[in-house]
Structure 1
Amino acid sequence: MPPNASLQFDIPPEFAGRRVDQALAQLMPDYSRTRIKDWIEAGRVTLDGRVPRPRDSVTGGEAVSVRPLVAVIHEDRAQAIALDIRHEDDSLLVLNKPAGLVVHPAAGNPEGTLLNALLHHAPDLATLPRAGIVHRLDKDTSGLMVVAKTPGAHQALVAALAAREVSREYLALVQGELIAGGTVEEPIARHPRDRKRMGVVPGGKPAISHYRVIERFVGHTLVRVALETGRTHQIRVHMSHIRHPIVGDPVYGGRLRLPPGSDEALTNTMRGFRRQALHATRLALAHPVSGEHLVWDAEPPDDMTTLLAALREHVRGRGD
């Protein structure tokens, strides 16, 4: 990012009453609150043209300008990893992530991630937080993701996500036969005993998932889940909480449950499916520059399609 570049965005109305540094820390999650406070005190942040104090309250709707002191953020190396790009322009790109691809480098996956692939595809993304990645999918969840390509687009997309203005819908194959759709509104936080898991925990962050039935099988149901919030493992935790965990989920799914009367083909297909049957199938948002409403759809990958076909064949074989 050039040293004099500025980030421009508006404070969402629902942030009214929060301290300036608190609001900006939530809207700019890849920068620490301490760093943002330093920028405010250095006069590098304005609200409606005036320089605020960190403790000042926002009313919502203010126009924010931030001139961050930012060097190149990423030392991760670019890697030539194939990407299934569904849309790209000067401001953003939308891709269909395959199952098995980790989004960010971490201790167990220092390379071979989506971030490494993005740095190879568009080297200028090295100047953006997390190479422009504004939300994530679990390693073994497939589907659509949006990536910002400019500082302005990054801030606009982060703000839109915080304001729940980005629509994300998933297909999930769950255990059990659901009769109708519904809503799960339960707070999510780290599990109090197993810190590697998330769970429904009183006092956790608010989380809302809406689900509706798409197709019923013997002992299983395909549902479409729309997220209002984006907590870690949200769909996996919520569906497990209502006793309909996602098929193949190694953390929240429990033991494999074969449909009654499964033949060898279905048994082998289900036992061979070794990830959560979860796919981000639809993404909709307002373009951060033009404001145009954009929608993308992606069909489930071959492994999930094969699993669904096997379950349909089992239904036909029973004459249900």
Structure 2
Amino acid sequence: MKKFPVNKETDLKSFISEVLGLTKNKAKEIIDSKNVFVNSKRVWIASHTLKKGDIVEIADIDNSFSWKPEKSVIYEDQFILAVQKPPFLESEGRKGSVEYQLRKVLDRRLKAIHRLDRETSGVLLFAKNEKIFHRFKDLWHRKEVVKVYLSISYGEAKFKKKVVNMPVDKKYAKSIFFTKKISKGFTLFEVEIKTGRKHQIRIHSSKIRHPIVGDKIYGLKKVEDPLTKNVKRQMLHGYRLRFLHPFTGKVVDIKAPVYHDFYNFGKLVKLL
């Protein structure tokens, strides 16, 4: 984490450009990553006015998430393929997404069956053709897939298990939180979701007053702890998918190991 005092009134983009010796476009990219703090508050507006005496902090840039599609496969049969999705990649759609890269390197017919948030790592499942895709989407629609996540949240949970039934975007949503370990003001949760609403775990975590570390939208508004300021993404990992395979009739249980940033932070606060 780099810390810079502000000596004169200016806008955030110009300030970062000057202190880091970058173009204003590059400075804006850093601001857009939402890893810039002004007086311990996360700021992502490039035109934000800085005043003399303000303190700007910028998280260290992490370029260690290089991803090779062919080395990310954690399960494969003649119907589906599962990969360990890294953080900072979209699941599908746009150029550069996990789906785009897999299609380019492995098989142009691959189609993402579900999604993970851009910053969320974990198991991501793909169908090998359109017919297989629709059969597996039926599993999701019938809620016949066990979906388990790991998260590191603020605060030490006082419960072993908590069932959360709170609407997300006015739609029914259910998450079950299991406390795995508490330490140093943080909790490692295992979260099973019974529905798949957008940002469901992140919203529910915030609602039960255990926001996920590194969550830039539903997390803490003011971050004082230097340990968590340098966390560049939400500490949320899609750990496990378990389902009855609609083609083979066998139970498939796929688990993805956590990425090094999740593991390193977990070790630092003695949760892993």
Please name the residue that 2:177 is paired with: 211
Q: C-alpha separation between the residues in 2 aligned to 1:275 and 1:124?
A: 30
Please name the residue that 1:52 is paired with: none
Q: C-alpha separation between the residues in 2 aligned to 1:280 and 1:114?
A: 15
Aligned pair 1:172/2:160, yes or no?
A: no
Aligned pair 1:226/2:192, yes or no?
A: yes
Give unmatched runs, 5+ long, in structure 2: 1-66
Please name the residue that 1:119 is paired with: 103
Indicate the percent of aligned positions where both proteins have the same amino acid. Answer: 31
CA drift at 1:104: 2.5
Give 2:192's aligned amino acid: A
TM-score (norm 1): 0.60
Please name the residue that 1:64 is paired with: none
Please name the residue that 1:145 is paired with: 124
Alpha-carbon RMSD across the aligned residues, in angstroms, is 1.8
Please name the residue that 1:186 is paired with: 166
Q: C-alpha separation between the residues in 2 aligned to 1:123 and 1:148?
A: 10
Q: C-alpha separation between the residues in 1 aligned to 2:177 and 2:191?
A: 4
Does structure 2 retain, via aligned residues, the 8 Å contact 1:171–1:225?
A: yes
CA drift at 1:256: 2.4
Give 1:235's aligned amino acid: I
Please name the residue that 1:303 is paired with: 261
Please name the residue that 2:246 is paired with: 288
Give the 3-state SS of the residue equivalent to 1:188 in structure 2.
coil
Give unmatched runs, 5+ long, in structure 1: 1-80, 126-130, 190-203, 259-266, 314-320
CA drift at 1:123: 3.5
Does structure 2 retain, via aligned residues, the 8 Å contact 1:287–1:293?
A: yes
Partner residue of 1:103 out of 81, 87, 91: 91
Structure 2 matches for 1:23-172, cutoff 5 A?
82-83=68-69, 84-105=72-93, 110-125=94-109, 131-172=110-151
Give 1:137's aligned amino acid: L
CA drift at 1:208: 0.4
Q: Higher Cα Rg: structure 1 or 2?
A: 1
Does structure 2 retain, via aligned residues, the 8 Å contact 1:188–1:206?
A: yes
CA drift at 1:257: 5.2
Distance change in 2, residues 1:172/1:257 (3 Å): farther
Q: With CA pairs under 8 Å and 6+ residues apart, which has the higher RCO, 1 or 2?
A: 2
CA drift at 1:205: 1.2
Give 1:294's aligned amino acid: V
Give 2:77's aligned amino acid: D
Count residues with an aligned counterpart.
202
Does structure 2 retain, via aligned residues, the 8 Å contact 1:246–1:278?
A: yes
Q: Deviations over 1:283-312 (max 9, x none)?
A: 111223101101111221111111011111
Give the 3-state SS of the residue equivalent to 1:250 in structure 2.
coil
Please name the residue that 2:207 is paired with: 241
Give the 3-state SS of the residue equivalent to 2:239 in structure 1.
strand
Does structure 2 retain, via aligned residues, the 8 Å contact 1:170–1:225?
A: yes
Q: C-alpha separation between the residues in 2 aligned to 1:177 and 1:134?
A: 35
Aligned pair 1:279/2:237, yes or no?
A: yes
Q: Deviations over 1:210-244 (max 9, x none)?
A: 01000101211110000100010000011111111
Aligned pair 1:256/2:223, yes or no?
A: yes
Distance change in 2, residues 1:290/1:257 (3 Å): farther
The answer to which structure has the higher strand fraction is 2
CA drift at 1:85: 0.6
Give 1:93's aligned amino acid: L
Q: C-alpha separation between the residues in 2 aligned to 1:235 and 1:98?
A: 18
Please name the residue that 1:14 is paired with: none
Please name the residue that 1:74 is paired with: none
TM-score (norm 2): 0.70
